[in-house]
Amino acid sequence: MTANQPQNLFQPDRRVSKFIERVVILIFGLFALVSIATTAGIVLTLAAETFSFFQDIPFLRFLTDTQWTPLFVNPQYGIFVLLSGTFLTSVIAITVALPVGLLSAIYLSEYAPGQLRKWIKPALEILAGVPSVVFGYFALLFVTPLLQNFIPGLQGFNALSAGLVMGISIIPLVASLSEDALYSVPQGLRQGAYAMGCTKKEVVTGVVIPAGLSGIVASFILSVSRAVGETMIVTVAAGQNPTLTLNPLVSVQTMTSFIVQVSLGDAPTGTLAYKTLFAVGTTLFLITLTLNAFSFWFVRKFREKYD
């Protein structure tokens, strides 16, 4: 046995494993680049068509006009009409989803027995798997007739039923993300509060919720983005009547439902009416991008770190 043999026993040849590791890193990097390239392609497409649109329509007119009729004989291009419909349905949705979702998360994290939690949380998340078009017809064919028995003047297509059902559809998102934030709070904080004589309610409201606040706010903002970008529920239940109003009892049109309308082929490709599709899409993209950026900043700013 030579002097180098014992050393080789403890230093095996790892060239193959290092080569495989480099290949795996390269493959993962390519997957990441595909996502980045896709996003860049979407942004460039929206930017090019939107720039072409604003060469024909002044930007100030786009923001201040009070009518939205790009497919009519006398077209008007006031995006504020679609913004009002999107805002109305989104506010109704988050009014339903945020309190219900947060209270569900608090129950699952702090009050539900372990075995019950294992059943309730998956059952709640099943709701997120229901197609949005099913929610849309549920709002149109069940919720709207039900509400018409109690609310006089409620139209067949209306923002109220669309917003309520949209809120139900995003409850799992709020509940799941908020519950994860609350459940990740260290048990030592809870035990310390109990040792000081705090009640269960005081521990939840004074310790757990503040400690998981960044995650809760992030779930709220993501849910708002989900409500703003919802398509089929508002298309089916809220109608396609571009009206500048904050009355939830009447039909409205949101940005996403207008995109669906144009995508069905009502506007010939290359026309100014067709280019409104990209102008509205860019507006929607900027709104959701702003919300997501604020969520990212808030989480980084106020995240609680525990050793």
Q: Where are the domains of the chain?
A: 64-302
The residue length of the chain stands at 307
274 three-state secondary structure: helix
Do residues 307 and 85 make contact, with C-beta atoms less than 8 angstroms apart? no
The amino acid at residue 85 is: G
Instruction: Give pLDDT tens digits along the chain (307 positions).
Output: 455 555 555 566 677 788 888 899 999 999 999 989 998 998 998 898 899 899 888 888 888 888 888 877 788 888 999 999 999 999 999 999 999 999 999 998 888 887 888 888 888 878 888 889 999 999 999 999 999 998 888 898 999 999 999 999 999 989 988 988 888 888 888 888 888 888 888 888 888 888 888 888 888 988 998 899 888 999 999 988 888 888 999 999 999 998 888 877 667 777 888 888 899 999 999 999 898 888 888 877 776 665 5
Q: Which fold has domain 64-302?
A: MetI-like fold (1.10.3720)
Nearest to 240 by CA among 70, 39, 19, 94: 70
Nearest to 275 by CA among 264, 262, 288: 262
Assigned token pair, 119: 């059943």
CA distance 161 to 63: 28
Do residues 251 and 243 make contact, with C-beta atoms less than 8 angstroms apart? yes
How many CB atoms are closer than 10 A to CB 168? 20
DSSP state of 3: S
